[in-house]
Amino acid sequence: MAEQKQHSGGREAEGPRHVAIIMDGNGRWAQARGRPRLFGHHAGAKRVREIVEACPDLGVKYLTIFAFSTENWKRTQKEVAGLMSLFRRYIQKEAQDMLARGVRTRFIGDRVRLEPKLVDLMDELELLTAENDRVHLTIALNYGGRDEVTRAARRMAFDVAAGKLDPRDVDEETLPRYLDTCVLPDPDLVIRTSGEARISNFLLWQSAYAEYEFIDTLWPDFTPEIFAEVVARYGRRERRFGAVLSE
């Protein structure tokens, strides 16, 4: 978070260090092929590996992906159960490969509603990859931006009540220390696939000064080549952070 606050004026953008992706379009991708929505989710999970592998060559150190939102529980019971099964299998299948490729994996979101077996696997993967530093992959699972800020405010309020924090010391730098992403820099670039132009409650606080790319490609078709093109476009942007450049 401090990284973005270092900038006091505009500058030509370099490559993004932290990219966040709203992976949208799995269901439509499957339905266009006459297959059930879960078929698209499985195809989307395979795409994640390729995008993670592409990150080092593009200079992307941090990748955060939106896997399951707090609103996704409204989907059919069959689809939700299928997604939870997919998450379990994905972690079990990819764990050793992530370790070998230097990928450090973290999860953000509220784990209370998730089944204990899945939470155990998440904990194990975080511990297994804790020493890796080549790519930092963060998976948002049962995550919502408003929910995250609410939970952060609640933790901060408990610290105030316990005398650990003086309310007069609370400023813009305080709340981020209570967010799920407290150890991560803010995203430089947020990408949403599938043609939808909304942020869907994703990283609301952290993305205040992020650049956005809304692209028509459905997530299972989002190749490393397309990823590279989006990253290159970011590098041609001028980032002002609220300042006006001198003429």
Nearest to 153 by CA among 174, 182, 168: 174
156 part of a folded domain: no
List the catalytic residues.
24, 72
The domain total for the chain is 1
194 part of a folded domain: yes
59 part of a folded domain: yes
Rounded CA separation 113/178 (Å): 20
Instruction: Return contacts of 41-48, CB within 8 angstroms, 24+ apart.
Output: 41/82, 41/83, 41/86, 42/86, 43/220, 44/219, 44/220, 45/86, 45/90, 46/220, 47/23, 47/219, 47/220, 47/222, 47/223, 48/23, 48/90
pTM of the predicted model as reported, rounded to 2 decimal places: 0.90
CATH number at residue 82: 3.40.1180.10
123-167 pLDDT tens trace: 999 999 999 999 999 999 999 999 999 999 999 999 999 999 999
Would you say residue 57 has pLDDT above 70?
yes
Would you say residue 5 has pLDDT above 90?
no
- Domain hosting residue 129, numbered range: 16-144+186-233
150 part of a folded domain: no
> Packing angle between helix 224-235 and helix 37-58, nearest 10 degrees?
50
177 part of a folded domain: no
Q: What's the whole-number mean pLDDT along residues 107-115? A: 97
